Amino acid sequence: MHRFGIGREIRASAPQRVLKWISSFSISRSISSLAFATVEVEEISGSRPAEVHNLVQGKWARSFHWNTLVDPLNGEPFIKVAEVDEAGTQPFVESLSKCPKHGLHNPFKAPERYLLYGDISAKAARLLSLPEVSNFFTRLIQRVVPKSYQQAQGEVNVTQKFLENFSGDQVRFLARSFAVPGNHLGQQSHGFRWPYGSVAIITPFNFPLEIPLLQLMGALYMGNKPVLKVDSKVSLVMDQMMRLLHACGLPMEDVDFINSDEKTMNKLLMEANPRMTLFTGSSRVAEKLAVDLKGRIKLEDAGFDWKILGPDVQEVDYVASVCDQDAYACSGQKCSAQSMLFMHENWASSPLISKMKELAEKRKLEDLTIGPVLTFTTEAMLDHKNKLLEIPGSKLLFGGEPLENHTIPHVYGALKPTAVYVPLEEMLKENNYEVVTQEIFGPFQVVTDYKAEQLPMVLDAIERMHAHLTAAVVSNDVAFLQEIIGKSVNGTTYAGLRARTTGAPQNHWFGPAGDPRGAGIGTPEAIKLVWSCHREIIYDMGPVPPHWQTPPPT
């Protein structure tokens, strides 16, 4: 809502100035017609399918191969994606090969491009603050990955604020250097942030604007030449965002945008040999790419994320609401979604679960507070539920049934928000642990409880997990917080009564910890870590000491 307010203020105070600025970037129609866009969101349908193109060497291009996508809400073919096959990767290979290892800009080369990207960010942020543009991208996100309007709008707002954060001089501040005095007059060592050159970005379906845009701009800010691949199911969103960025001054040649299957993208990576690849997605693919790319990779992979409720029970309604949002917003399709809830026995005897059940049952398909699951079928999720219920002492807390009265195609999942209780002792058994901690990228969580003396068992459970993305410790007990935080590793951890696992804004680091390949997103620290490396330049100007003589060899 804050961004909407900015948009109204701009138009009310200086409408002619805004429209003049828009036209200066080759937008010939009024702002309400969104001249950068090539689709009308509400008209995308089987009779008027949208098209997604590729961008390579500064030109938009179609393909001989079209992948037709079906609407996840009704199964109607509604988007045609021009997908590049293995025979069509050469233009992308050539494009990346033109970028030198020292990048398109660095502190010693074309420094004016730092200012250019500050400018682009400012203009793009201003556009996204306008209600018409914000609504366009919000609705576009909803069309390809159905989630509530508020959830989709939140993604647009975070993206807008990120661009605002890196306006003006903030891009060049990312390349801030330092100097250390040397051993003698004329000697100084300087540390610089240096680009990699050609890079690749591979992002998933669940946040089709926020993740690719934030990582793309971070790569560009630091001087890299990226090829961007977004999951084809949702790549229409970045197709349109690329066109907005071009209207804001992004040079057409600076970014390549490809649509392809996994096999083709893997071939491109092997042939183009980018200096660094950012991958956000499944652990299976991440591990394969880490081997294929010989470790030249940064990962933000799967997250089986946990929440621990401490001994101090308070604000039960609030905590229940946050648990519901963490587990079931976006139908659980967040890498930060609450996958496992550990309740202290004090919470187990509170009305928390009954309140969570009430909230879960209010979610409905009509407003997309629950919706299609794009990577798991209904049958797969029900099968997982049944496997958990085979564990002694386990029970279904709520959900566990398919959604009713819908037209969601069978290739996608449709499940009511689900929670399964598994006893802590059983969970930790070797033959159960792998099943219990399997990530289900949908509206599904595992719940357990523990007594005070069982806290070491809880810590053992989280120690054995392999993905350490987000976590929450819900307690205002300082000693309890110190115990959990000191014996865990998740990269983005919320602590305190209002702790959550999801909803990361642009103002703090979001990413895993405990893995040297871990990638962050959103902050200056994340951008510098992922998209640049350290280079040390030692100046040694002299003078040579008076009466210097050649010393004997050593």
pTM, 2 dp: 0.92
Confidence of residue 139 (pLDDT cuts 50, 70, 90): very high
Tell me the C-alpha distance between 20 and 529, whole Å: 38
Asked if residue 12 has pLDDT above 90, the reply is: no
Average pLDDT over residues 115-127: 98
Question: How do residues 49-90 score in pLDDT, each as one tens digit?
Answer: 999 999 999 999 988 899 999 999 999 999 999 999 999 999
Q: Which pLDDT belongs to residue 306? A: 98
Tell me the C-alpha distance between 484 and 472, whole Å: 10
Phi-psi region of 496 (alpha: psi -120 to 50; beta: other; left: phi over 0): left
Question: How do residues 464-484 score in pLDDT, each as one tens digit?
Answer: 998 899 999 999 999 999 999
Question: How do residues 234-246 score in pLDDT, each as one tens digit?
Answer: 999 999 999 999 9
Average pLDDT over residues 248-265: 97
Catalytic (active site) residue 300: yes
Half-sphere exposure of 395 (CA within 13 A, CB side): 4
Could you say which of 155, 330, 335, 439 is catalytic? 335
Average pLDDT over residues 495-507: 94
Tell me the C-alpha distance between 268 and 96, whole Å: 10
Q: Which pLDDT belongs to residue 341? A: 98
Residue % of the chain over a pLDDT of 70: 94
Cβ contacts of 257 within 8 Å, gap of 6 or more: 54, 55, 56, 227, 228, 229, 238, 239, 242
Asked if residue 533 has pLDDT above 60, the reply is: yes
Could you say which of 300, 323, 330, 439 is catalytic? 300
User: Between 133 and 32, where is the model more confident?
Assistant: 133
Asked if residue 365 has pLDDT above 80, the reply is: yes
Arithmetic mean of pLDDT over the chain: 93
In order of 26, 210, 224, 446, 474, the CA distances from 245 in angstroms are 12, 14, 16, 42, 40
Average pLDDT over residues 429-436: 96
Question: How do residues 177-214 score in pLDDT, each as one tens digit?
Answer: 999 999 999 999 999 999 999 999 999 999 999 999 99
Q: Which pLDDT belongs to residue 498? A: 97
310 within 8 A of 343, measured Cβ to Cβ: no
Tell me the C-alpha distance between 218 and 212, whole Å: 10
Catalytic (active site) residue 335: yes
Q: Which pLDDT belongs to residue 467? A: 86
Average pLDDT over residues 269-296: 94
Q: Which pLDDT belongs to residue 16? A: 38
